[in-house]
């Protein structure tokens, strides 16, 4: 009831401005998802058993526009069915603010957005919303945008603190970064679009007891895409440098996709990704493993999240070759994607002998059905055929031979109010 009370007061406040307002809109999302995890993110070890649960996102989006001013407030509750007793007087997670920003348009080319907001660009490999995660991802930031015809330059700035401190803290901040600055430029000519990104992120670490320092890591690169009636392709190239926890950073990434629509219903896409890593034989403290930072990593390298979804950092890197087959029919969409994983750097066994580079194959199958405009049903099945090399990387103890994942999700997204 708390979220309804809050949203009601906000909506009434917006309506009180109706004399001047151009548009007020409210929409609701209810998204429960069942998952069966049997070796998800890592092979099950001896003595471990599969698990299942239902998670749910309940999100209310309120949008307001008046002349050159735009505001958005998105409130959400994330829960696991059963994490609150049936007679509970309070919710475990409560109501959180997912987005809360104000945007002012100086003119048709310039605008600024301040507050909690989603920062997402290109294919979301470096900066994304992570919409698959029930909580999503948003940042407290200021973003200045210059967007004349066929061009856009965004300059973003963020500074994070853990409280209204009186003196500098002596322990690292709980936020994932202390500061962030970026510049993103996008342009389009004909059927080709290109983007360039320069991202600087500062992370605090405790260099000595009570002595905090911030190291800054730079991520820079470009993303190109092409599309016509039958063919589409994209290419991403990024590098990383700077320092992390007093260690030098030197990593890079390359990814490419080539798609062809055989018919209006059937399309095939061939793709490859390379993320740099570090040989397990190397003793240097230099960080050579590329990190996708704030990317929507669930959408890359297999749906079972074995790589770069809160894991596989500062490791041996990854090569991922895949084939995505998509078939659409009326309200149905079917997708099958086999991934072939290998390590671009040396992996050692317990005897310090070099292991085979092949990590395994994952096959992802998913389907989506649109029941009506604001109701969708989706489901999927994935299976990982892991090799001993992957099991070694994951430190699996006498791992299970079968690792799979099943999910079913319903999404209800009705517009509940609109006034112009």
Q: Are 57 and 29 in contact (CB under 8 A)?
A: yes
Pairwise CA distance, residues 275 & 289, whole Å: 7
Q: In degrees, to the nearest 5, what angle opens at C-alpha 162 toward C-alphas 161 and 167?
A: 75
* Res 19 pLDDT > 90: no
pLDDT at 1: 46
pLDDT-derived band at 12 (thresholds 50, 70, 90) equals low
Place of tokens 């003119």: 107
* Average pLDDT, integer, range 216-224: 98
Q: Is the pTM of this model over 0.75?
A: yes
pLDDT at 251: 97
* Average pLDDT, integer, range 20-35: 91
Pairwise CA distance, residues 418 & 420, whole Å: 7
For the chain, how many structural domains are there in total? 1
Q: Can you give the CATH number for the domain in which 174 is found?
A: 2.40.160.100
Residues 6 or more apart whose CB falls under 8 angstroms from that of 166 comprise none
Higher-pLDDT residue of 141 and 1 is 141
56: containing domain: 2-419
Average model confidence (pLDDT) for the chain?
93
Q: Are 37 and 400 in contact (CB under 8 A)?
A: no
């Amino acid at each position: 009831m708390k979220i309804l009370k809050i949203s009601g007061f906000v909506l009434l406040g917006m309506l009180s401005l109706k004399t001047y307002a151009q548009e007020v809109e409210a929409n609701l999302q209810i998204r429960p998802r069942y998952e069966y995890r049997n070796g998800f993110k890592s092979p099950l070890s001896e003595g471990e058993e599969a698990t299942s649960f239902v998670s749910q996102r309940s999100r209310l989006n309120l949008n307001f526009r008046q002349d050159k001013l735009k505001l958005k407030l998105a409130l959400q509750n994330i829960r696991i069915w059963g994490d609150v007793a049936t007679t509970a007087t309070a919710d475990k997670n409560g109501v959180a603010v997912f987005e809360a920003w104000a945007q002012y348009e100086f003119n048709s080319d310039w605008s600024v957005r301040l507050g909690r907001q989603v920062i997402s660009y290109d294919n979301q490999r470096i900066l994304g919303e992570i919409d698959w995660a029930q909580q999503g991802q948003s940042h407290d930031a200021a973003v200045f945008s210059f967007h004349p015809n066929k061009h856009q330059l965004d300059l973003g700035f963020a500074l994070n603190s853990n409280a209204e401190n009186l003196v500098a803290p002596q322990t690292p901040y709980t936020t994932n970064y202390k500061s962030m600055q970026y510049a993103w430029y996008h342009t389009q000519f004909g059927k080709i679009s290109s983007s360039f990104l320069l991202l600087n992120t500062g992370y605090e670490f405790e260099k000595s007891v009570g002595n905090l320092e911030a190291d800054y890591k730079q991520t820079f690169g470009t993303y190109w895409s092409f599309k016509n009636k039958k063919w589409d392709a994209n290419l991403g190239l990024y590098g990383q440098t700077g320092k992390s926890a007093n260690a030098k950073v030197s990593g890079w990434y390359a990814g490419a996709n080539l798609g062809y629509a055989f018919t209006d219903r059937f399309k095939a896409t061939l793709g490859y990704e390379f993320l740099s890593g570090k040989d397990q034989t190397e003793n240097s403290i230099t960080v050579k493993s590329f990190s996708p930072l704030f990317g929507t990593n669930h959408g890359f390298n297999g749906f079972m999240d074995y790589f770069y979804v809160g894991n596989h950092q500062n490791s041996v890197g990854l090569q991922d070759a895949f084939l995505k087959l998509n078939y659409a029919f009326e309200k149905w969409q079917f997708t099958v994607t086999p991934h072939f994983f290998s390590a671009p750097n040396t992996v050692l066994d317990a005897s310090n002998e070099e292991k085979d580079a092949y990590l395994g194959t994952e096959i992802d199958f998913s389907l989506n059905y649109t029941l009506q405009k604001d109701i969708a049903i989706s489901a999927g099945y994935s299976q990982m055929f892991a090799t001993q090399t992957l099991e070694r990387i994951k430190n699996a103890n006498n791992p299970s031979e079968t690792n799979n994942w099943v999910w079913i999700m319903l999404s209800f997204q009705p517009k509940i109010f609109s006034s112009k």
